[in-house]
């Protein structure tokens, strides 16, 4: 009995230390749109995520907002201009696969995105689908901070390098 308790405790502690993993797939298509002009250094988007639970769909939406900002950019509208991809294209992922896998799967991307919804998505922003739930969130991306991190980590060139 003592052995079971010790093993259970060790397993529990190991699970806590490991932290939450976020699945990431570069081949996903992102459903992200610019909503309006945001404060200096940030971008304001509406993003949709889809997963088998609402919480996982929210996590997916947050991840997709950052991935679109990095690899594909986000097209603009009459209220705000387009947001260029920080890394230029999805080829940057292939070049720095280990870096980006760690960045997304370990949740580091969460430092650069903020869910600005005042409450849990409901109504048309939380639709049940055959895959689970499709949720829409309003998010703020810390665009300049994200760009600066990638520059410091040597993933992209600094804007000063071009002059």
Please name the residue that has the structure tokens 């749109």. Answer: 33
Tell me the pTM.
0.83
Q: What is the pLDDT of residue 55?
A: 92
Q: What is the pLDDT of residue 23?
A: 81
Q: What is the pLDDT of residue 26?
A: 80
Q: Which residues of 64-91 are buried (b: 16+ CB within 10 A; e: fewer)?
A: bbbbbbbbbbbeeeeebeebebbbeeee
Q: What is the pLDDT of residue 139?
A: 96
Distances (CA, A) of 66 to 1, 17, 118, 147: 47, 25, 20, 11
| Ranges in the chain, pLDDT < 50 | 7-8, 10-18, 162-163
Q: What whole-number distance in Å separates Cα of residue 87 and Cα of residue 157? A: 9
């Amino acid at each position: 009995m003592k052995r079971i308790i010790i093993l259970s405790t060790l397993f529990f502690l190991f699970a806590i230390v490991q932290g939450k993993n976020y699945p990431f797939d570069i081949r996903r298509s992102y459903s992200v749109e610019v909503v309006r002009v945001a404060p200096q250094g940030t971008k304001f988007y509406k993003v949709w995520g889809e997963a088998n639970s609402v919480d996982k769909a929210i996590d997916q939406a947050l991840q997709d907002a950052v991935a679109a900002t990095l690899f594909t950019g986000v097209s603009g509208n009459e209220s705000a201009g387009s947001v260029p991809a920080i890394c230029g294209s999805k080829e940057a992922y292939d070049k720095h696969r280990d870096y980006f896998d760690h960045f997304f799967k370990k949740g580091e991307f969460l430092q650069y995105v903020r869910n600005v919804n005042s409450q849990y998505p409901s109504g048309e922003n939380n639709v049940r689908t055959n895959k689970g739930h499709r949720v829409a969130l309003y998010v703020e991306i810390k665009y300049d901070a994200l760009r600066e991190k990638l520059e410091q980590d040597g993933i992209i060139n600094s804007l000063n390098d071009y002059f």
